[in-house]
């Protein structure tokens, strides 16, 4: 693709659609010969079944087209067109069959930038200072050949009576426009494709041509799904309120780019991608027409992102507010099945939980599937099938009256979740825990509050990662406080919140908090999926406002309160819950020079945990019933 002329990029292989469809129409009707009954979707127990006459990939029709949008993001004076592919059953041509659509859109289909993390921001910098300039990213070499953009989901849904459609996001693949990473055009692009599927937008056989193509085979009922960025875009489309988008299944979606790249005023990187920021992701996916690259880089990356994302302070601002889908849910009405993992440290679980809660309050049909693994992981096929069957085929399977929450319990298979009435567990209640001194070893964590516990100090050093600090018996680089050993399992469900009174020896510092289960598992305890219960980060400079940070006065105490990541976990008998407070988190934060001291006022610091059964359940979990029986 690099160095090709516009005319070659725009019109190459422009006759593939018509020639391919002519060949398919002329093919022998072997699969349907002698059949008097038309092929139609089949349903059993509220689920779409595999239909044998839909199940032969050699008989599927595949073609591509371009759908015209309502925006011109590449500045060429023409409305941008999105590249779309279609995989549908032959009976949509031979028998006039009309079917609902499963639609997947992505910025990744045409390839991504190589070069490891060489062009990421360098984490080695002081907190609150201007970052060193990052290296230019390598160009993305577009991959893939027309007419197929992707083969994802076709083997699952085409045999079950759905047409599968893919599209490349703006500025990627053969789609026009600029990537904006959460900008308005990334919502309007899938909206246009949905409108084409409902007959309200225009599709063209070529990128710049005038020959139109209609989705005559579509019932006008569309569902969307996808994972990670591909899971963000169904939500983005749904926030437009576009008619015809009936149901979505976002899997590990990024619902706020501020929450992805910042935490409570702190510059924070997604797990596994130290040094990534929103402009890096822009470069990573920018596989579109190279003739427009300079315009997009200038208008979007340099003028909008780098001037708006405020990597120096990490403050929340209008740039980030515009890229938070929670702020745009007003028109949304698509039935939504959220899926996320509680140990996803890339797109962290708050992304789905915050949307789940908002849609529940809004009255939109909503369910959630949670598991204990890492990034990704779709709901069981049965659950997804019932969701799409109900809202796209309109089969009354009563799915909207089923439990709202399904959670894979520790040690269980992902396709065997436990059903709960809601999330968080309705029986959960906040229980406050208080600290007692013990540094540089371990202090205590209990529900008993007392005074005059004094202060304790840690010394920042990014050289040690969080796991090493949590496992250490003795270290001055963190403070850790543990509960008594549990005599019974304890179930946490919901969001923990911490209040810390601290002083810093410098005007700016990272603040990191982990809740962990001790002793550290060596892989033998199948009830422990991960010793890390939850985590959180904050910038003490934002103790008053997310939009405006203020340098700390060294030695002065400040109250900082923030939420940790949502969780639902059963901590087994024999473990202790530990609260760890430290400064720089090597896997997530900037790496300032070691030596900053954080002093914690224990009397004014506490953490609230969502315990199923509340304080009564917690107290019972500490009682050794065998010992109690002996005493009685």
Q: Say whether 228 is catalytic.
A: yes
Q: Say whether 585 is catalytic.
A: no
Find the range with the poorest average confidence among 138-142, 304-308, 348-352.
138-142
Instruction: Of 102, 89, 93, give the one whose Cα is nearest residue 197.
Output: 102
- To which H or E segment does residue 408 belong? none
What is the mean pLDDT of the segment spanning 312-324? 98
Please write the tens of the pLDDT for every residue from 466-489: 999 999 999 999 999 999 999 999
Q: Is the pLDDT of residue 32 over 60?
A: no
Q: Is the pLDDT of residue 9 over 90?
A: no
Query: Looking at residue 526, what is its pLDDT?
Result: 57
Please write the tens of the pLDDT for every residue from 515-553: 999 999 866 555 667 899 999 999 999 999 999 999 999
The fold for domain 6-27+48-420 equals: Rossmann fold (3.40.50)
Query: Looking at residue 295, what is its pLDDT?
Result: 96
What is the mean pLDDT of the segment spanning 248-257? 98
- Cα dihedral 311, 313, 319, 321, rounded to 10, equals 120
Q: Cα-atom radius of gyration of the chain, to the nearest Å?
A: 27
Q: Say whether 85 is catalytic.
A: no
DSSP state of 146: T
- To which H or E segment does residue 147 belong? none
Q: How far apart are CA 367 and CA 63, in angstroms?
A: 34
* pLDDT cut 90: percent of the chain above it: 88
Q: What φ, ψ does residue 262 adopt, rounded to 5°?
A: -145, 160
Domains 6-27+48-420 and 428-631 share a fold: no
Give, in order, the Cα–Cα distances in Å from 47 to each of 225, 502, 531. Answer: 17, 55, 38
pLDDT-derived band at 136 (thresholds 50, 70, 90) equals: confident
Please write the tens of the pLDDT for every residue from 214-245: 999 999 999 999 999 999 999 999 999 999 99
Q: Is the pLDDT of residue 11 over 50?
A: no
Q: What is the largest CA-CA distance in the chain?
A: 90
Please write the tens of the pLDDT for every residue from 598-630: 999 999 999 999 999 999 999 999 998 765 444
Q: How far apart are CA 290 and CA 3, in angstroms?
A: 8
Q: Which pair of structure tokens corresponds to residue 284?
A: 């990573």
The β-bridge relationship of strands 99-106 and 218-227 is parallel
What is the mean pLDDT of the segment spanning 485-511? 98
Domain ranges of the chain: 6-27+48-420, 428-631
Q: Is the pLDDT of residue 36 over 90?
A: no
pLDDT-derived band at 3 (thresholds 50, 70, 90) equals: very low
Q: Name the average pLDDT for the chain.
A: 92
271 and 345 in contact (C-beta within 8 Å)? Answer: yes
What is the mean pLDDT of the segment spanning 92-114? 97
Residue with tokens 């510059």: 267
The β-bridge relationship of strands 606-612 and 428-436 is antiparallel
The β-bridge relationship of strands 203-204 and 61-68 is antiparallel
What is the CATH number that goes with domain 428-631? 2.60.120.260
What is the mean pLDDT of the segment spanning 385-407? 97
pLDDT-derived band at 10 (thresholds 50, 70, 90) equals: very low
Query: Looking at residue 625, what is its pLDDT?
Result: 73
Q: How far apart are CA 69 and CA 10, in angstroms?
A: 17
Q: Which of 83, 269, 340, 375 is catalytic?
A: 375
Q: Which of 167, 187, 228, 584 is catalytic?
A: 228
Q: Which of 279, 283, 315, 344 is catalytic?
A: 344
């Amino acid at each position: 693709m690099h160095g090709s002329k516009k005319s070659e990029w725009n019109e190459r292989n422009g006759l593939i659609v018509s020639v391919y469809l002519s060949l398919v129409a002329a093919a022998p009707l072997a699969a349907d010969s002698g059949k008097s009954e038309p092929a139609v979707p089949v349903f059993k127990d509220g689920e779409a079944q595999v239909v044998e006459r839909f199940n032969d990939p050699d008989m599927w029709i595949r073609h591509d087209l371009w759908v015209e949008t309502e925006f011109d993001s590449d500045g060429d004076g023409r409305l941008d067109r999105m590249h779309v592919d279609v995989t549908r059953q032959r009976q949509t041509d031979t028998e006039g069959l009309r079917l609902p659509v499963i639609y997947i859109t992505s910025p990744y289909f045409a390839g991504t930038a190589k070069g490891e993390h060489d062009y990421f921001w360098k984490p080695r910098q002081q907190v609150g200072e201007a970052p060193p300039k990052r290296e230019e990213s390598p160009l993305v070499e577009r991959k893939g050949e027309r007419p197929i953009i992707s083969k994802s989901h076709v083997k699952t849904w085409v045999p079950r009576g759905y047409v599968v459609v893919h599209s490349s996001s703006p500025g990627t693949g053969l789609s026009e426009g600029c990537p904006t990473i959460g900008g308005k055009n990334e919502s309007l692009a899938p909206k246009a494709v949905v409108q084409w599927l409902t007959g309200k937008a225009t599709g063209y056989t070529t990128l710049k041509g005038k020959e139109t193509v209609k989705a005559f085979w579509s019932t006008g009922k569309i569902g969307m799904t996808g994972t990670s960025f591909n899971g963000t875009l169904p939500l983005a489309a749904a926030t437009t309120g576009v008619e015809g988008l009936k149901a979505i299944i976002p899997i590990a979606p990024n619902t706020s780019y501020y929450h992805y790249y910042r935490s409570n005023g702190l510059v924070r990187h997604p797990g596994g991608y130290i040094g990534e920021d929103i402009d890096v992701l822009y470069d990573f996916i920018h596989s579109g027409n190279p003739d427009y690259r300079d315009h997009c880089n200038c208008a979007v990356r340099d003028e909008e992102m780098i001037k708006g994302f405020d990597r120096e302070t990490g403050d929340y601002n209008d740039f980030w507010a515009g890229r938070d889908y929670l702020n745009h849910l007003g028109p949304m009405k698509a039935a939504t099945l959220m899926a996320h993992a509680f140990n996803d440290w890339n797109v962290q679980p708050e992304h789905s939980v915050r949307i789940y809660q908002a849609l529940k309050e809004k009255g939109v049909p909503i369910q959630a599937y949670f598991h204990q693994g890492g990034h990704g992981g779709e709901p069981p096929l049965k659950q997804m099938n019932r969701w799409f069957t109900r809202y796209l085929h309109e089969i009354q399977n009563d799915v909207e009256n089923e439990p709202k929450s399904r959670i894979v319990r520790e040690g269980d298979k992902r396709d065997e979740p436990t059903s709960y009435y809601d999330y968080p567990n309705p029986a959960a209640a906040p229980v406050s825990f208080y600290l007692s001194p013990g540094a540089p070893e371990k202090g205590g964590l209990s529900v008993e509050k007392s005074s005059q516990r004094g202060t304790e100090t840690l010394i920042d050093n990014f050289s040690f990662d969080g796991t090493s600090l949590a496992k250490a018996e003795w270290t001055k680089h963190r403070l850790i406080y543990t509960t008594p050993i549990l005599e019974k399992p304890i179930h946490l469900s919901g969001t923990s919140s911490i209040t810390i009174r601290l002083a810093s020896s410098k005007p700016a510092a990272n603040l990191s908090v982990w809740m962990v289960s001790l002793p550290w598992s060596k892989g033998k305890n199948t009830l422990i999926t991960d010793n890390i219960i939850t985590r959180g980060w904050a910038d003490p400079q934002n103790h008053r406002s997310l939009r405006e940070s203020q340098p700390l006065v060294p030695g002065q105490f400040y109250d900082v309160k923030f939420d940790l990541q949502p969780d639902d976990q059963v901590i087994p008998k024999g473990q202790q819950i530990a609260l760890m407070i430290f400064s720089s988190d090597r896997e997530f934060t900037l790496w300032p020079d070691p030596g900053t001291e954080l002093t914690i006022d224990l009397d004014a610091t506490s953490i609230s945990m969502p315990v199923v059964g509340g304080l009564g359940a917690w107290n019972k979990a500490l009682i050794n019933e065998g010992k109690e029986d002996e005493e009685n």
